[in-house]
Amino acid sequence: MSLFDKFKEVTRKVSEVESNIYHEKHDYLEIYERNLELEKKIAERTEELNDANKRMLTLQHIWDMMNSSTPLENVLEAIVNSTQGELGYMHCAIIRKYEDEKGVYLQILAQSNDSLIDRLNNMIGGTGIQTRRLNFDNDSVFADTMRQRTIIQTRDIDLSLKAVLPELSNETIKKINSNQPVKSVIVVPLITQNKEFGWFCVFSSREELASAEMDFLGLFAKQIEMAITIADLFQAVRDQAVTDSLTGLYNRRYFEESLEKEVQRAKRQNQPFSIIGIDLDFLKKINDTYGHGYGDLAIKTIAEVLKSNARSVDVAARMGGEEFNVLLPGISSEGAMVAAERIRKSIENTEIETVGHITGSLGVATFFEHSENIEELLELTDQAMYTSKREGRNRVTLAKPISETSWQEIAVNTFIDILSKNRLPIAKNISKDLYKKLTSPIKKDELTKDSLFNVADILAKMYNPMHSSGIVKNKVIMAVSLAKRFDLPKEDIDNLRVAVLLYDIGNLLLPQDLLQKATPLSEEEKEQIRNHPVIAARKILQPISYIQDVLPIIEHHHENWDGSGYPNHMSKEEIPLTSQIILIIDQYFALIEPRAYRPKMSARSALEVIKADAGKKWNNNLVKEFISLIEHDIV
């Protein structure tokens, strides 16, 4: 091969190499450009995924709040702040549609905290836009979205603002919208349970709304609607749990919860509060004469009176039946008496169709002044209310502190409590008759002596058919005479009087065939009998707060001096003297009355039995004084 040929060959090969290099370079450039495009798409998709993730996290956060006990206003605030902050909007708000006697209007329920709303509030002045009654314009974007049930984006921010704040001048609106980055407003209608609720409004720095963004805002609106629905249902359930269905007042449960909170507040601030108890007079007569429908109408009438006379901080509640209570925070007894008298007059002046005028009996008690114990305060309120009933009804009575309450009033109110709250297994008609005997309007001085002893005798006869009328009165007189021989203080003697009336009431919870059994009792039956002091003290009387000092007397009235008694096998000075007095008097009257298993004894024979147990059942001194007392009467 010639030199020229070799040169041509080299040139050809160089050209081939250059051509290959060029093509490879072109391929590399194409790959590089494709990589740049791919990286750009990856970045876009990553940003979209990040936005979607933010949206999903926001939705999850809202869903978690909706499924907790978080109040609706807190959920809505979280929604607007999350939407504005996490999703990059300029401002967000939830607006509700209302209607009253003045017409339809709008109000902001929640709005995000941002510089845009601060700017708006500064320019419009006053307390800001959230507290204002906003205008509803049927030609506005808000009305359009609701009519069409669709999301609408508008760039006409001036017109949107003018629609809700028509009182603002055009110049002010232009100032508000000048030099700010908002380019459009997105209005999303909110429909809950097929009712027009309001709108979810988003202020965006973008003029166009992407389809994905539209879908997301629609999904977000559904979450808001669900949160509102859940809150409405929760509120409805809560209202049912704390309100009385007939009257719409609060129920006993809510009243008692409010009372506990008020006690803490009163102690912390050293302020009194008062309770007014109201009882509708003659409800049974209304029911019997006109029917239960009119009885319910009378009850609802009192409820309306309480609603119209209550302050916003007062708690008016139906406690059950025809009884109501009103809690008056920060009010002394003097102020409570004025409020109670106002309620009484309002009830009296209200006329019901067919029935005519109704009345109520009211009682007032005040925390600190009358008691610092909740249960006792409620009992005192009831006592005062019952006093109003006994003294003629349609009046207001101020409670007395326990220290100033006579033993007769305590005993009467205890029987009223037992009968009205069905603490005893007796027929309803008998319970009502006994209740009537205690609450009938008679002279105050005669109340305790006649009706009180009469009711106690009737109850005693129910578990002891051989019981003679007048025996309870004789027992009380004898117990007081014996107690005075030991110089017991007046307080102890008064407690003894009440205990004598109540000590055997536990027998009403025992089987009647057991009490009247003529043959010897088995050990199991004896044990049942031994439990009756505990039954009386703990099951029947313990819930009544103001007779707690009487309970030990009753519970230990079968304890023997030598420790052989029951229920706690106490002995000697461990046993209250008042309990020993009841035991010896009970034994004496049991001996001189007939029983199913034996005839009655003479007074002297009964004393011989008691003498035989001196130092065993009773203190020797007690036996000595008792015999002296009885022998004085039988000589």
The set of catalytic residues is 322
Rounded to 5, what percent of the chain is helix, strand, coil? 60, 15, 25
Neighbours of 564 (CB within 10 A): 11
- Contact yes or no for 340/276 (Cβ under 8 A): yes
Dist CA 18 CA 29 (whole Å): 16
Q: Which residues 6+ apart lie within 8 Å of 579 measured at CB? A: 552, 553, 554, 556, 557, 559
Give whole-number Cα distances, 86 to 31, 76, 185, 427, in Å.
37, 15, 18, 69
Q: Name the amino acid, one letter, at 56.
A: M
> Which residue is it, tokens 């809690």?
327
Helix (H, G, I), strand (E, B) or coil at 529: helix
Pairing between β-strand 103-111 and β-strand 195-204 as defined by DSSP bridges: unpaired
Cα–Cα dist 435/5, whole Å = 141
Dist CA 106 CA 574 (whole Å) = 75
**Inter-residue contact 437 to 418 (CB < 8 Å):** no
User: Which of 251, 362, 253, 246 is CA-nearest to residue 304?
Assistant: 246
Report which secondary-structure segment, H or E, holds 74.
helix 72-86
Q: How would you class 387 by CB atoms within 10 Å of its CB: exposed for 0-12, middle for 13-18, buried for 19 or more?
A: buried
Q: Which of 552, 494, 614 is nearest to 626 (CA)?
A: 614
> CB-based burial of residue 112 (10 Å sphere; 0-12 exposed, 13-18 middle, 19+ buried)?
buried
| Residue 441 structure tokens | 């309007």
Please say whether the beta carbons of 309 and 343 come within 8 A.
yes
- Pairwise CA distance, residues 330 & 269, whole Å: 10
Exposure string over 290-314, b if 16+ CB within 10 A, otherwise e: beeebbebbbbbbbebbeebbeeeb
